[in-house]
């Protein structure tokens, strides 16, 4: 029986559904593992030709029945809220499930691509280099349980690789930076800033941004590496086409842009002048607040990914064109 199935966990979510749509467009036999519940999340999959859909609680039994058909696991499922305070949820979903899939792929020769995060870098004081040395990963200090859970998985994967433990024939941990794009509406408060401010800009209302509480950055001058979800999908597809490529890889544009740049990009896409109001950053968020993120993508380029990334302006224009009536 040929290995022809690609499992995408979190396949109805933001990044996951965009991966599913692209895989389905290539004719791949895609299996989605996710919780859809009673909201509108299912619409993220409406345009995709999906081979099967399974619930996470049925995953173990489903894998046992289809082990010889599995080509790859693309693991995007996670608790991604930086506001979540129940750390046991991160342990169960982000750590335990990921490491169980890591071990399953090693035992069954399945390729394994999983979502890490730029949140592993914390405040950025240790840099944003996707080094794979155990000491470099151990030196990172994430600011929240989400980043901690992702870094713990990265450390375990690299430890297994360094120690010569059994691993997947291809493996990749993708450290996504600030992703925006279609199919993120279900994320609520964890939506990208593009998604959050678009309705206000379109209505001609003021956009609310947090003031800076760091003297090195003016209000609105906080910097992020904003990456369009289509570019994240392009990296995943490149990995699937190149099974000899493995490693931890940053996924960002490599260029930090300010929040003011982002508001200007959305305003330009909508055709309205920017209108910004600054408010105090909530005290509870200040200790976890990142003022600068910028992906070092030299390693990804050296590995052979040569496709250009969308500029902030081009990505926002493309995104908003897909959601405008």
DSSP letter for each residue of 143-203: SSHHHHHHHHHHHHHHHHHHHT----SSEEEEEE-EEE-SS-GGGGGGS-HHHHHHHHHHH
Tokens 């840099």 identify what position? 127
pLDDT, tens only, 212-243: 999 999 999 999 999 999 999 999 999 999 99
Could you tell me if 94 and 201 lie in one domain? no
pLDDT at 325: 58
Could you tell me if 131 and 12 lie in one domain? yes
What 3-state DSSP class applies to 122?
coil
Entry pTM: 0.96
CA atoms of 21 and 40, how far apart (whole Å): 17
Q: Which of 114, 121, 146, 228 is catalytic?
A: 146
Could you tell me if 206 and 246 lie in one domain? no
Domain containing residue 271: 182-224+256-292+314-319
pLDDT at 1: 45
Six-digit token string for 77: 């499922």
Could you tell me if 100 and 194 lie in one domain? no
Active site residue 146: yes
Could you tell me if 240 and 261 lie in one domain? no
At 83, is the pLDDT very low, low, confident or very high (cuts 50, 70, 90)? confident
Could you tell me if 186 and 234 lie in one domain? no
pLDDT, tens only, 158-169: 999 999 999 999
Q: Is 285 exposed, middle or buried (0-12, 13-18, 19+ CB in 10 A)?
A: middle
Residue 324 lies in a domain: no
pLDDT, tens only, 263-288: 999 999 999 999 999 999 988 788 77
Could you tell me if 62 and 95 lie in one domain? yes
At 38, is the pLDDT very low, low, confident or very high (cuts 50, 70, 90)? confident
pLDDT at 324: 66
Could you tell me if 101 and 124 lie in one domain? yes
Mean pLDDT score across all residues of the chain:
95
How many domains is the chain partitioned into structurally?
A: 2
Active site residue 291: no
CA atoms of 316 and 77, how far apart (whole Å): 25
Could you tell me if 23 and 67 lie in one domain? yes
Q: Which of 187, 230, 245, 299 is catalytic?
A: 187
């Amino acid at each position: 029986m040929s290995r022809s199935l690609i499992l995408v966990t979190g396949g109805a979510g933001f990044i996951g559904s965009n991966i599913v749509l692209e895989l389905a467009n290539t004719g791949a036999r895609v299996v989605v593992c996710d919780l859809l519940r009673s909201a509108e999340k299912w619409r993220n999959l409406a345009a995709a030709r999906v081979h099967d859909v399974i619930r996470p609680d049925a995953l173990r039994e489903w894998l046992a029945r289809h082990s010889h058909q599995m080509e790859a696991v693309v693991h995007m499922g996670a608790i991604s809220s930086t506001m979540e305070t129940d750390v046991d949820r991160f342990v169960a979903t982000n750590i335990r499930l990921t490491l169980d899939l890591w071990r399953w792929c090693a035992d069954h020769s399945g390729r394994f691509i999983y979502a890490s995060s730029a949140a592993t870098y914390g405040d950025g004081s240790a840099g944003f280099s996707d080094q794979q040395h155990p000491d470099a990963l151990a030196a990172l200090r994430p600011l929240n349980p989400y980043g901690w859970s992702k870094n713990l998985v990265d450390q375990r994967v690299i430890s297994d690789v360094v120690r010569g433990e059994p691993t997947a024939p291809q493996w990749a941990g993708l450290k996504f930076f600030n992703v925006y794009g279609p199919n993120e509406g279900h994320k609520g408060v964890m939506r990208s800033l593009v998604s959050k401010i678009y309705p206000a800009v379109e209505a001609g209302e003021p956009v609310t941004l947090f003031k800076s509480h760091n003297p090195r950055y003016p209000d609105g001058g906080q910097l992020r590496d904003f990456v369009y979800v289509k570019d994240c999908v392009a990296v995943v597809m490149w990995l699937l086409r190149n099974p000899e490529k493995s490693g931890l890889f940053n996924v960002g544009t490599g260029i930090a842009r300010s929040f003011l740049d982002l508001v200007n990009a959305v305003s330009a896409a909508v055709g309205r002048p920017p209108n910004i109001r600054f408010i105090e950053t909530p005290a509870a968020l200040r200790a976890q607040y990142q003022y600068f993120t910028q992906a070092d993508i030299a390693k990804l380029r050296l590995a052979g990914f040569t496709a250009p990334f969308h500029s902030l302006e081009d990505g926002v224009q493309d995104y908003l064109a897909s959601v405008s009536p």
